[in-house]
Amino acid sequence: MQERRHDFDVLVIGAGSAGFSAALAASQAGMRVGIIERGALGGECPNRACVPTKVLLQASRLKSLGSAMSWKKAIGQTDSVKRVLTGNRLTSLLEKSGIVFLKGLARFADPHSVVVGSHEWTASKFVIAGGTETAIPEIPGLKETGFLTYADIVSLKVLPKSILILGGGPVAIEFAEILNGFGVKVTLIQYADRVLEREEPEVSAVIEEALRAKGVIIYTGAAAQIVARAKGIAKILVRQGRMEFELSAEKILVATGKRSLAAEMMVERAGVELDPRGYIKTDKFLRTSVPHIFAAGDVKAGPQFTHVATLDGEIVGQNLTHKNLRAISYEVMPRATFCSPEVASVGKTEEQARASGKYKVGVGRAFFAGFGKALTHGDGIGLVKVVVDLKTGKILGAGIVGEDASEMIHELALAMQVGATYEDIANMMHVYPTGSETVKMACVNVE
């Protein structure tokens, strides 16, 4: 019996970093490829998240330094940058690559077909790269009171005079700085006992102190109990330890995490399995429970960063088109939070390394204040912390807080990737005066 000819060899759901990478790889291999997107081409990062927030961070710093930067002008700049990175550029890229663009929400009908609008499309293989959205906590009164998400903030025409931010991770921290820089009274409510709780405690402490110095009010170890609104003001009853108190502001920003959009695509109709949190389960080759369906980016279980999504897409693209499958590894995964000072890290924290029981853990620290580059730039705030295995000399992880941390982390990430030791870095010549001298000294100081 002749096999049914499908509309596409590969259909990719989601036109963000992961989806684009996979679609381009499949197209370059000569496959008939379609890509489905209900929102803007490029996905979350260039349209609503990474790129707009970096523009706004820079604008808020200029504002804090006394420039005439206005919120309206800053939003205009974000729109200009978005147009350069998305829009016609991506439409043209799809056309040149021969990839068919289908606009709308894709929902699976069965393992080989999806419905987009009123039309059903079939494919031999699928890539699910539909991303995530803000997870809204179940706090009584929150939905009725109303709230903003990161996507709402980057399109606001007028800023509120005050805002309560729920969360203390990277999104919450970056928006706390942005809004504070534009004169908004910012109060941050963090459930964990410190902000950026996945980072080294020393790193978190520097960021918390820096935000407080700018005027951001921070409550850690605090939980929102009830939300209400009266006379245009949002009020949150907060519990911190044994104390309960009320906080109020014009607006609430929810930045407490993400949730996968897999369920909206009705992936269960295709037999795709989800984990208890609603994320798609994949194997090391990024195949789902259905062998011809792959998943990439934030929609699946795993780390949620744009650079991870891009790598996911590249690996899926290769595995769609080659018999020799490539496995994913997140062992060396640098990450950054673009607050001021910047935060960057890679690998394990000291606590994680010690808890594993696998290593003879050594730690080295160096503070920016002792080095020329940091002092020439002003306050000299920051530090580098490296975590190593003293038995092998291998670097297990690192955390940096300070100017250019997002660039400096790559020396340590590369060392981990190629198996270089902390002694290799300690013995290597570093340019003076640079921030990377601090990386060298942290390795020198390992004990």
Boundary-marking domain end, from 220, 240, 256? 256
- Top pLDDT among 73 and 375 is at 73
Same domain, 203 and 244: yes
Angle between helices 306-321 and 17-28 (to 10 degrees): 20
For residue 149, the SS3 value is coil
Domain range for 353 is 335-444
Is the per-residue pLDDT at 171 higher than 70? Answer: yes
Number of C-alpha atoms within 13 angstroms, CB side, residue 53? 22
Q: What does the block give as tokens for 54?
A: 């970096």
Asked whether the beta carbons of 348 and 366 are under 8 A apart, the reply is: no
Domain co-membership, 149 together with 205 = yes
Work out the pLDDT band at 326, boundaries 50, 70, 90.
very high
Q: Residue 1: is its pLDDT beyond 50? A: no
The encoded tokens of residue 400 equal 């940096």
104-125 pLDDT per residue, tens: 999 999 999 999 999 999 999 9
Is 284 among the domain residues? yes
* 389 and 440 housed in the same domain: yes
Query: Which pLDDT score, from 0 to 100, does residue 378 have?
Result: 67
Count of CB atoms situated within 10 Å of the CB of 360: 10
In total, how many domains does the chain have? 3
- Dihedrals phi, psi of 296, to nearest 5 degrees: -145, 150
Tens digit of pLDDT for each residue in 120-140? Answer: 999 999 999 999 999 999 999
The number of helices, as runs of H, and strands, as runs of E, in the chain is: 15, 21
Specify whether 366 is located in the same domain as 439. yes
Residue 14 belongs to a domain = yes
Pair (317, 339) in one structural domain = no
pLDDT digits 0-9 by tens, 230-255: 999 999 999 999 999 999 999 999 99
Q: Measuring CA to CA, how many Å separate 21 from each of 12, 26, 229, 309?
A: 10, 9, 44, 9
Q: Among 273, 299, 321, where does a domain finish? A: 321
**SS3 assignment for 203-223:** HHHHHHHHHHHHCCEEECCEE
Mark whether 200 and 286 lie in a shared domain: no
- Structure confidence by residue, pLDDT tens digits, 384-439: 999 999 999 999 999 999 999 999 999 999 999 999 999 999 999 999 999 999 99
- Is 60 exceeded by the pLDDT of residue 368? yes
Lookup: tokens for 354: 């010690």
Mean of the per-residue pLDDT values for the chain?
95
- Tell me the DSSP string of 60-80: HHHHHTT----HHHHHHHHHH
36 and 125 housed in the same domain: yes
Residue 169's domain is classified under what CATH number?
3.50.50.60
pLDDT for 2? 41
216 and 235 assigned to the same domain: yes
CA atoms within 13 A on the CB side of 196: 30
Q: Can you spell out the DSSP letters for 153-190?
A: HTT-SS--SEEEEE--SHHHHHHHHHHHHTT-EEEEE-
Does 362 score more than 60 pLDDT?
yes
311 with 348, same domain: the answer is: no
- On the question of pLDDT at 376 being above 90, the answer is no
Task: Report yes or no: 289 and 271 within 8 Å, Cβ to Cβ.
Answer: yes
Residue 104 lies in a domain: yes
pTM: 0.94
Q: Please enumerate, as own/partner, the contacts of 172-176 that have beta carbons within 8 Å and a separation of 24 or more.
A: 172/253, 172/255, 172/256, 173/207, 173/211, 173/337, 173/339, 174/53, 174/57, 174/337, 174/338, 174/339, 175/53, 175/150, 175/253, 175/255, 176/211, 176/216
Residue with token string 């009705």: 266
Check: CB of residue 36 under 8 Å from CB of residue 13. yes
CA atoms within 13 A on the CB side of 68: 0
Residues in the chain: 447
What would the two tokens of residue 280 be? 């798609």
Q: Does residue 246 contact residue 226 with C-beta atoms inside 8 Å?
A: no
d(CA 334, CA 345): 6
Query: What's residue 4's pLDDT?
Result: 61
Question: What interhelical angle do 50-64 and 170-181 show, nearest 10?
Answer: 40
Q: Does the pLDDT at position 203 exceed 60?
A: yes
Bridge partners of residue 229, in order along the sequence: 234
Same domain, 361 and 429: yes
Q: What is the pLDDT of residues 258-278, one digit of tens each?
A: 999 999 999 999 999 999 999
pLDDT tens, position by position, 17-33: 999 999 999 999 999 99
Rounded CA-CA distance 384/362 in Å is 14
Boundary-marking domain end, from 231, 256, 281: 256
Which residue type occupies 276?
A: P
- Tens of pLDDT, residue by residue over 295-318, are 999 999 999 999 999 999 999 999
Structural domain contains residue 327 = no
Q: Per-residue confidence at 66, pLDDT binned at 50, 70, 90?
A: confident
What letter does residue 398 receive in the DSSP assignment?
A: E
Asked if 240 and 355 sit in the same domain, the reply is no
End-to-end CA distance of the chain: 69
* Average pLDDT estimate for 88-113: 95
Q: Is the same domain home to 177 and 216?
A: yes
